[in-house]
Structure 1
Amino acid sequence: MQPQESSIQYSRWEGSSRDGVSVASGPGAEEASGCKRVSRKLCSGKLGISLKVLGGVALFWVVFTLGYVTGYFVHKCK
């Protein structure tokens, strides 16, 4: 059985008498959620950059197509 590691984070609010202390036990206790792991994988590194570029290109073509179709019907000769 391995000993559990714990991480302690201390934050102090300026101009206030409140201090915040959070204790997370175990390695990677913050990463317990599967959604956080998936989003960290898809939103960082080379994969994240390529997904953002592909998403931007796809969004451009969707907006371009909607504008083209809308302009066609608005300016259509009767």
Structure 2
Amino acid sequence: MASDMDSNTAGVQYNRWNEDNINLNVAGTGVTGLYNRFCTGTLGIAIKVAGALAALVVVYVIGYVTGYYVHKC
């Protein structure tokens, strides 16, 4: 009888902590939600393209200003 009761409690304990029963649905909260919203899909691609263009413009302006002052005299 004691071994039968131990196996039942062990089975309950296993089912309680079984990783299949854990709900990890946190897609809309915190950093994960922000990442999913702004870094994936069509919006993510648009943000990456806009960031790349902005970086190119900044590098171009820095090069232009630097070249202007280097070749000024």
Q: Does 1:64 align with 2:60?
A: yes
Measured in 1, the distance between the counterparts of 2:69 and 2:37 equals: 43
Change beyond 3 A, Cα 1:7–1:41: farther
Query: RMSD in angstroms over aligned alpha carbons?
Result: 2.3
Higher relative contact order (CA 8 A, sep 6+): 1
TM-score, normalised relative to structure 1 = 0.60
Runs of 5+ consecutive residues of structure 2 not aligned to the other structure: 1-17
Query: Which ranges of structure 1 fall in alignment gaps of 5 or more residues?
Result: 1-5, 9-23
Is structure 2 residue 45 aligned with structure 1 residue 49? Answer: yes
User: Which structure shows the higher helix fraction?
Assistant: 2
Identity percentage of aligned residues: 39
Question: In proportion to residue count, which structure has more strand?
Answer: 1
Counterpart amino acid of 1:42? F
TM-score by length of 2: 0.64
- Flag the structure with larger Rg: 2
